[in-house]
């Protein structure tokens, strides 16, 4: 089934929170400190993050089912999550392309993001997508941390090639 991407809306929030929690368990829970994982699971941070970023969020749909989402904040990608059962099907790349088009239309000449050093899958993905590491720093508010964070950057050409 083909994937489409559209701006997210309030009615997507419950499904996106489920997706975020599933993807977190399948990825972040494997490499982040246990104290952080427990705190995150019990908190309302997933719901708050989604509400805060909703106005600039793209959702990938397989039929009617959300299978991934991306959120921008200024010239950055703030969140990118793909459902564990839908990874390695090009959905992350399609969501990133959607966000890059929006940022380019707003006049940004580069896109930045932060990624944990231990998130080797995401690092491999972002490198494949053309990002390079421009800085590294210890995270501040990670329970059980700090852990190292990479800042990554990708130039946005005038036209996507």
Shortest Cβ distance from residue 44 to ligand COA (Å)?
Answer: 19
Beta strands (DSSP E) in the chain are 3-7, 57-62, 65-73, 76-82, 110-116, 132-138, 148-155
Q: Which is nearer to ligand COA, 3 or 47 (CB)?
A: 3
Shortest Cβ distance from residue 81 to ligand COA (Å)?
Answer: 5
Site for ligand COA contains 20 (CB under 6 A): no
Q: How far apart (Å, rounded) are the C-alpha atoms in residues 30 and 34?
A: 9
Site for ligand COA contains 87 (CB under 6 A): yes
Q: How far apart (Å, rounded) are the C-alpha atoms in residues 76 and 110?
A: 9
Closest-approach residue to ligand COA (CB): 92
Structure tokens at 149: 């964070």
Site for ligand COA contains 122 (CB under 6 A): yes
Shortest Cβ distance from residue 102 to ligand COA (Å)?
Answer: 17
Shortest Cβ distance from residue 51 to ligand COA (Å)?
Answer: 19
Is 43 buried (19+), middle (13-18) or exposed (0-12) by CB count in 10 A? exposed
- Kindly provide the b/e burial profile for residues 103-114, where b requires at least 16 CB atoms within 10 angstroms of the residue's own CB: bbeeebeebbbe
List 25, 34, 41, 90, residue binding ligand COA (CB under 6 A): 90
Cis peptide preceding 146, ω within 30 of 0: yes
Residue span binding ligand COA (CB under 6 A) among the ranges 46-54, 104-112, 119-127, 138-146: 119-127
Site for ligand COA contains 27 (CB under 6 A): yes
> Where do contacts with ligand COA occur on this chain (CB under 6 A)?
23, 27, 80-82, 87-93, 115, 119, 121-122, 124-125, 128
């Amino acid at each position: 089934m083909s994937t489409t991407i559209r701006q997210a809306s309030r009615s997507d929030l419950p499904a996106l929170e489920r997706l975020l929690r599933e993807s977190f368990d399948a990825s972040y829970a494997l490499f982040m400190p246990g104290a952080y994982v427990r705190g995150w699971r019990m908190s309302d941070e997933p719901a708050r993050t989604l509400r805060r970023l909703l106005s600039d969020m793209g959702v990938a749909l397989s039929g009617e089912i959300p299978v991934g989402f991306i959120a921008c904040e200024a010239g950055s990608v703030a969140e990118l999550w793909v459902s564990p059962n839908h990874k390695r099907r090009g959905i992350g790349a399609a969501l990133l392309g959607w966000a890059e088009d929006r940022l380019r239309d707003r006049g940004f000449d580069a896109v930045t993001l932060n990624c944990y050093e231990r998130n080797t899958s995401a690092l491999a993905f972002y490198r494949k997508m053309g990002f390079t590491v421009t800085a590294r720093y210890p995270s501040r508010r990670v329970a059980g941390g700090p852990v190292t964070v990479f800042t990554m950057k990708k130039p946005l050409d005038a036209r996507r090639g």
